[in-house]
A and B are shown apart, each in its own frame.
Chain A
C-alpha cells in the first residue's frame, strides 16, 4: 500500500534523505523512528504528497501522492505532528463534521468523536483543548471516511498515560482490520507495543528494518559494569589481559572505560557476554580490591539497540 524506493531529498545542499526504502503492506503497522532531524517528517510528508522528492519513487495505493488527487486522499488518513492544522476557533465537532463531509460514507462525526474519547469536549474550541486532546482530535479527523492507509506523525506525543493506552489500542485495532499504518514516533513504547516492523532512519538511510523482536535478537549483547574505587591504568590493563584469556576465540572486540564521580564504568561489547567473562570481572575486582556495584550482561533492550544504531539520546520510553 505504501512503497518507497530510493527516496532522496536535500535542503540547501544537505542531504536529509539519501536512498530511503520502505514498504507498508495491508494489515501492517510500521514505525519509522530516528533521531531529531533524521528526516522522519520529511519522509512522511513526501509520502503524504506535501513535499516533492529529489529522487526515488513513492507509491501510495499504487498512485503518486503528488498527483493522486481527491480520490487518493480520500483513502489516506493523515495525522500531522503535534495536532497541527486544527483551526483554533473551531470546536472539535465542527472539524470532525467538516472532514466527514469531505468523504462519501464512512463513520459519522459522533462515532469518530466517541472512538477517540472526546465526547466530553465536543463543543470546546480547539484552542482550549489540551495537547493530548488535540492529538486525539487529529486522529479522529484522520479516521474520517474509514481510510485504507493511515500516516500518523507522532500520534501519542503529549498524551497522558490513559490516552496513550487508548490510542495504541485504537491504532492496533485498525491494523488488525487490515489498514496499512505508517507512524513516526520518538516513543519506543509505541514501537514495542504496536509495531510489526520498525524502520530506523539514521544518516538519511534506513539502517534497520525488522520486527522489534528481530532487532533485539540480532544485537550482539555485551557487558556493562561499574565499580567503586579508581582502578589505575595498570589495573585496567590487567582486566584487559584476563578478558583476553577468557575469550580467546572471538576475542573482545572493544573495551571502553570511563571514570565517573563514584568510580569507573566499563563497557565490553559487542559479543562479550559470557559466564567466563563475568567470572573474570568478579575475580579481577576482588583482586584489585574494587566493589562491583552494577553489572548488566547479555540483556539488550530495544532502546539499547536503537541507541547502538543511532547514538540518539533523546529517545523516550513511555509506559
Chain B
C-alpha cells in the first residue's frame, strides 16, 4: 500500500487490536446493562429461580437442601441466557440493522469482533456466577463439596459458553432477527424445563428423559454438579463420572461452532 498521502499528514493507522477489542467489549457490556430485557434474562431470572425454588422446594426429586441442585442448574441457566438468548438476539438485531456490516468496515480484524463479544460474554458470566453463588451462600448456606474441582467447573463453563454462544450465533447469523428472538426464547424455556436445571431429569416422564439426557443444558448442569459436588445425581461423584456429560457438551460445542462458522452471514 502506498504510504504517501496528501498534505504530508501521518497515514491513518488502525489502533492496536487489543485496544479495539477492549473498547468494543466495554461498549457491549454497557449496552447489555442498558437493555432491561437482557438484565432480566441474564441476571434476574436465574437468581429468582434459585431463590424461589431453593426456598419452596416444590419440584420433586430435589435433595434436602434444594440449593445444592439448583445452584449448578441456575449457573447453567445463566450461561444459556448469556450465550443463546442475550448474545444471539443482540447479534441478530445487529445483523439486521447493519451494525455488524458497519463494524466489518472498521479497522478491526474480524477475529477482534468475535474476541470482543467473547470477552463481554465472559465478564457477564463472571458477574452471573458471583451473584448466584452469593445468593446460594447467603440465602441457603450453600458450600461446595470437600473435593470440588474448580478446574472441572471452569472447563464446564468454557464448553457451555462455547456451545450456547455458538447456538446463539448460528440462529443470529442465519435467521431473521424476529425469528431468532422467538426461537432463542423458546429454546431457553425448553432447556429450563427439560435440561434438569430445576427438576432433575430422572423425574421427567420416560419419553422426555431420553430427550433431556441428550441436551447440552443437561450435560452442563451435570458437569457443574460433579465439579461442585453439589446436588443430584452425583454427590459424591466417582472418578470419570463427568466423562459422559463432558462428551455430550463437547459434541454440542463442536457441532454448533462448526455450523455457526459455516453458515453465519454477516449482513442481512
Q: Mark A residues whose CB is within 8 Å of B.
A: 26-27, 48-50, 61-63, 68-76, 78, 80, 84-90, 94, 97-99, 101-106, 141, 145-148, 177-179
**Contacts A87-B97, A146-B9, A177-B6 given; 6 further ones with Cβ under 8 A?**
A62-B2, A71-B13, A94-B27, A99-B106, A102-B107, A104-B15
Tell yes or no: B34 within 8 A of A by CB. yes
* Most chain A beta-carbon neighbours within 10 Å: one of B9, B12, B24, B27: B12
Per-residue interface assignment for chain B, residues 1 to 22, with 1 indicating a CB less than 8 Å from any chain A CB and 0 otherwise: 1100111011111111101100
Q: How far apart sit A61 and B11, CA to CA, in the bound complex (Å)? A: 11
Per-residue interface assignment for chain B, residues 24 to 66, with 1 indicating a CB less than 8 Å from any chain A CB and 0 otherwise: 1001001100110000000000000000000000000000000
Please provide the 7 A-B residue pairs with the shortest distance between their CB atoms, ordered closest to farther: A178-B6, A85-B102, A101-B23, A84-B98, A74-B107, A85-B98, A70-B14
Cross-chain contact A90 with B15 (CB below 8 angstroms): no
Tell yes or no: B99 within 8 A of A by CB. yes
Q: How far apart sit A49 and B102, CA to CA, in the bound complex (Å)? A: 12
Asked if A102 meets B106 with Cβ closer than 8 Å, knowing A80-B98, A84-B98, A85-B101, the reply is yes
Cross-chain contact A101 with B5 (CB below 8 angstroms): no
Cross-chain contact B105 with A73 (CB below 8 angstroms): yes
* Most chain B beta-carbon neighbours within 10 Å: one of A62, A84, A102, A145: A102
Tell yes or no: B145 within 8 A of A by CB. no
Q: How far apart sit A86 and B19, CA to CA, in the bound complex (Å)? A: 21
Q: Mark B residues whose CB is within 8 Å of A.
A: 1-2, 5-7, 9-17, 19-20, 23-24, 27, 30-31, 34-35, 94, 97-99, 101-109, 267
Q: Write the chain A residue with the least CB distance to B19.
A: A101
* Most chain A beta-carbon neighbours within 10 Å: one of B6, B9, B31, B35: B6
Cross-chain contact A178 with B7 (CB below 8 angstroms): yes
Q: List 18 A-B contacts (CB under 8 A).
A: A27-B6, A48-B105, A71-B14, A72-B1, A73-B14, A75-B1, A75-B5, A75-B12, A78-B102, A84-B98, A84-B101, A85-B97, A87-B99, A90-B31, A101-B23, A102-B106, A105-B13, A178-B6
Asked if A71 meets B97 with Cβ closer than 8 Å, knowing A86-B102, A102-B107, A105-B13, the reply is no
Within 8 Å by CB of B13, from A26, A78, A88, A103, lies A103
Cross-chain contact B23 with A102 (CB below 8 angstroms): yes
Within 8 Å by CB of A80, from B13, B31, B101, lies B101
Q: Write the chain B residue with the least CB distance to A99.
A: B106
Collect the chain B residues with CB atoms within 8 Å of residue A27's CB.
Answer: 6
Cross-chain contact A26 with B5 (CB below 8 angstroms): yes
Q: How far apart sit A105 and B97, CA to CA, in the bound complex (Å)? A: 29
Q: How far apart sit A78 and B109, CA to CA, in the bound complex (Å)? A: 16
Collect the chain B residues with CB atoms within 8 Å of residue A97's CB.
Answer: 23
Q: How far apart sit A23 and B102, CA to CA, in the bound complex (Å)? A: 24
Q: Write the chain B residue with the least CB distance to A85.
A: B102
Q: How far apart sit A84 and B31, CA to CA, in the bound complex (Å)? A: 18
Q: Write the chain B residue with the least CB distance to A151.
A: B105
Cross-chain contact A50 with B101 (CB below 8 angstroms): yes
**Chain A: minimal CB distance from B36 (Å):** 10
**Chain B: minimal CB distance from A316 (Å):** 23
Cross-chain contact A179 with B2 (CB below 8 angstroms): no
**Chain B: minimal CB distance from A108 (Å):** 14
Collect the chain A residues with CB atoms within 8 Å of residue B34's CB.
Answer: 89
Q: Write the chain B residue with the least CB distance to A82.
A: B98
Q: How far apart sit A177 and B8, CA to CA, in the bound complex (Å)? A: 11
Collect the chain A residues with CB atoms within 8 Å of residue B94's CB.
Answer: 87
Q: How far apart sit A63 and B31, CA to CA, in the bound complex (Å)? A: 35
**Chain B: minimal CB distance from A267 (Å):** 43
Q: Write the chain B residue with the least CB distance to A106.
A: B12
Cross-chain contact B6 with A78 (CB below 8 angstroms): no
Q: How far apart sit A291 and B105, CA to CA, in the bound complex (Å)? A: 60
Q: Write the chain B residue with the least CB distance to A94.
A: B27
Cross-chain contact B99 with A71 (CB below 8 angstroms): no
Collect the chain A residues with CB atoms within 8 Å of residue B106's CB.
Answer: 73, 99, 102
Q: How far apart sit A62 and B1, CA to CA, in the bound complex (Å)? A: 6
Collect the chain A residues with CB atoms within 8 Å of residue B7's CB.
Answer: 177-178
Collect the chain B residues with CB atoms within 8 Å of residue A49's CB.
Answer: 105
Collect the chain B residues with CB atoms within 8 Å of residue A177's CB.
Answer: 6-7
Within 8 Å by CB of A102, from B5, B14, B97, B98, lies B14
**Chain B: minimal CB distance from A153 (Å):** 11
Cross-chain contact B99 with A148 (CB below 8 angstroms): no
Asked if A145 meets B107 with Cβ closer than 8 Å, knowing A27-B6, A61-B1, A105-B10, the reply is yes
